[in-house]
Amino acid sequence: MPVPVRELELDLEAFEGPFDLLLALVLRDELDLGEVDVAGIVLAFLERLAEREELDLDACGEFLVLVAALLELKARALLTGEDGDLEDLDPAQAAEELARRLADYRRIKEAAAWLVDRLDEESDRYFRLGPAPLAPRVERRLAAQDPAELATALRALSAEPPAVSLAHLELRFPPVEQFLGRFRSLLARRTRFDFDTEVDGLTRVEQAVAFLALLELRKAGEIELSQASPFAPIRVRRNAETQTERTTTWTARSA
């Protein structure tokens, strides 16, 4: 019987109830995401998984998508300075705004995924980039220009730009990439490793993020996971057919 991710019971400081409800409350802005311990959710899920005889990978996949969505929301919720007046909105509007931003970003991700597929399909289309070998040389001629344009350009360049908040530049996603890189290079050297040993000594949050990275690698088919028994160490093994050059990583696709 699969672990019903969305019904995952959470007992966090800020929230007690099923995971799905938590997401709904967040979207309705009835719960401050800043208060929500995402790592706590991951740990609750891990414990739930550990109760089972074997690793439920489908549940892991769904969980990954939902938790990724939550992380995105949380990240975006921290952006209030950028677009200014989220605080001035009533809760419903704020929820709407957050949902809109999340939707925007998801759409961009989907568009990027479409481009990746497209590039893959078109990779056998070769064409010439430069001029043809025996083509005549092109002479580009330019009409007379007004020197005043030069002054205008330099003047514009030296004008004080309106103040723009750089708050958004501070935003960083949790270092899933960092763990992806770390695990990949580990697997380049060894065919298998023990997850628990690897993350030993890290904070709970880091361990949670490391686990997300593990799920992502598994989803990408780069590794296989096994666990002898509940609470036994998670063993990570390099998938035999691992592609060495993966450029698309950490893509949260919809479930």
Site for another protein in 161-180 (CB under 8 A): 161-162, 164, 166, 168-169, 171-173
Q: Which residue stretch of 39-47, 112-120, 195-203, 228-236 sits at the interface with another protein (rule: CB under 8 A)?
A: 112-120
User: What CA–CA distance (Å, rounded) separates 75 from 82?
Assistant: 12
Pick left, alpha or beta for residue 178 (phi over 0 → left; psi -120 to 50 → alpha; otherwise beta): alpha
Q: Which long-range contacts (CB under 8 A, 24 or more apart) does 3-9 make?
A: 3/45, 3/48, 3/49, 3/52, 3/56, 3/59, 4/59, 5/45, 5/59, 5/62, 5/63, 5/66, 6/62, 6/66, 8/41, 8/44, 8/45, 8/48, 8/63, 9/44
Does position 87 bind another protein by CB under 8 A? no
Q: Does residue 34 bind another protein (CB under 8 A)? A: no
Q: Per CB under 8 A, which region of 37-45, 50-58, 139-147, 224-232 contacts another protein?
A: 139-147
Interface residue with another protein, options 54, 58, 150, 188 (CB under 8 A): 150
Residues 36-65 that bind another protein (CB under 8 A): none
- DSSP class of residue 29 equals T
The distance of closest approach from Cβ of residue 38 to another protein in the complex, given in angstroms and rounded to an integer, is 15
Binders of another protein in range 4-23 (CB under 8 A): 20-21, 23
Using CB under 8 A, pick the residue from 133, 200, 201, 240 that binds another protein. 133
CA distance 190 to 212: 20
- Give DSSP secondary structure letters for 43-75: HHHHHHHHTSSS--HHHHHHHHHHHHHHHHHHH
Stretch that binds another protein, among 34-42, 46-54, 116-124, 194-202 (CB under 8 A): 116-124
Give me 41's structure tokens.
């959710």
Q: Does 27 bind another protein (CB under 8 A)?
A: yes
Count other Cβ atoms within 10 Å, centred on residue 220. 17
Say whether residue 121 binds another protein (CB under 8 A): yes
Using CB under 8 A, pick the residue from 51, 141, 201, 229 that binds another protein. Answer: 141
Decide: helix, strand or coil at residue 132.
coil
Tokens describing residue 126 = 């070769």
User: Least distance to another protein from the beta carbon of 143, Å?
Assistant: 5
Question: Measured from the CB atom, is 150 or 202 closer to another protein?
Answer: 150
CB of 106 to another protein, least distance (A): 4
Of residues 225-254, those binding another protein (CB under 8 A): 245, 247-251, 254
